[in-house]
């Protein structure tokens, strides 16, 4: 998982304060992410970006100096304060940019302060637009080359299937449209002579952020 990190330092130049920012890579640890309450973004099915403000409170008796901010790959900090007042709060301006293949259901903001670090979680949850009846198919070694099917369902005509591809040698996948936004994906392996794996990927038009229907196909033990 990629991360965005910005450190801020204040210097005096001709009597004015100047913010210096430097972008680096540094991971947010699993321990920091654990048990962090989630803030839902409630994105639309095809929403590719969301600019929003987030309030960080300080219940302490002294102000917090903001040393820097760090975020996971799809979340960007466009503006942040240099301090958070005592018994007060400050606004952080954020931008979520959806990628074609999301790295997970959540993004994290890590605020580094003079009195400790704080982590905030944002869930980029969306209504389910595309679903598969199965996400995995399996054949045993030596099986007949028997086709197997998976039903793909598109909700509310959000998109249409533009095609289907199977990785590997001589593996075959086809798709047949049905009624009510349903499609039948038929998969046939090129061989079952030995243990193998390949994937079947369904293309969508228009593509939807974070939606990549993939079927894992296995020959032999998983």
**Domain limits of the chain?**
3-123, 130-219
Q: For the domain with range 3-123, which CATH number is right: 2.102.10.10, 3.50.50.60, 2.60.40.10, 3.10.330.10?
A: 2.60.40.10
Structure letter (DSSP) for residue 36:
P
The two three-digit tokens of residue 68, written as one number: 């820097």
Residue 154: burial class (beta carbons within 10 Å; 0-12, 13-18, 19+)? buried
Q: Is this prediction's pTM over 0.85?
A: no
Could you report the per-residue pLDDT of 142-156, keeping only the tens digit for each?
999 999 999 999 999
What's the CA gap between 73 and 53, in Å, rounded? 18
What's the CA gap between 122 and 120, in Å, rounded? 7
Considering the domain delimited by 130-219, tell me its CATH architecture: Sandwich (2.60)
Domains 3-123 and 130-219 are alike in CATH topology: yes
Residues 6+ apart with CB under 8 A from 71: 3, 4, 5, 77, 94, 107, 108, 109, 110
Least confident residue range of 32-41, 116-125, 175-184, 188-197: 32-41
Could you report the per-residue pLDDT of 186-201, keeping only the tens digit for each?
999 999 999 999 999 9
Residues 6+ apart with CB under 8 A from 10: 17, 18, 19, 82
């Amino acid at each position: 998982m990629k991360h965005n990190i910005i450190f801020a330092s204040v210097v005096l130049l001709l009597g004015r304060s100047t913010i210096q920012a430097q972008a680096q890579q540094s991971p947010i640890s699993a321990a920091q992410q654990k048990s962090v309450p989630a803030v839902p973004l409630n994105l639309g099915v095809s929403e590719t970006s969301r600019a929003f403000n987030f309030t960080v409170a300080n219940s302490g008796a002294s102000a917090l100096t903001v040393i820097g901010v760090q975020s996971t790959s799809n979340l960007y900090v466009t503006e942040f304060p240099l301090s958070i007042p005592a018994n007060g709060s400050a606004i952080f301006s954020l931008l979520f940019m959806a990628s074609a293949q999301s790295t997970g259901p959540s993004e994290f903001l890590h605020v580094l302060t003079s009195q400790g670090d704080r982590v905030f979680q944002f869930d980029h949850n969306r209504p389910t637009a595309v679903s598969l009846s199965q996400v995995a198919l399996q054949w045993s070694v030596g099986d007949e080359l028997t086709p197997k099917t998976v039903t793909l369902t598109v909700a509310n005509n959000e998109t249409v299937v533009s095609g289907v591809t199977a990785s590997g040698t001589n593996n075959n996948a086809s798709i047949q449209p049905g009624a009510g936004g349903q499609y039948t994906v038929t998969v046939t392996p090129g061989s079952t002579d030995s243990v193998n794996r390949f994937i079947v990927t369904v293309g969508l038009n228009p593509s939807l952020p974070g939606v990549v229907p993939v079927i894992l196909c296995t020959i032999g033990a998983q």
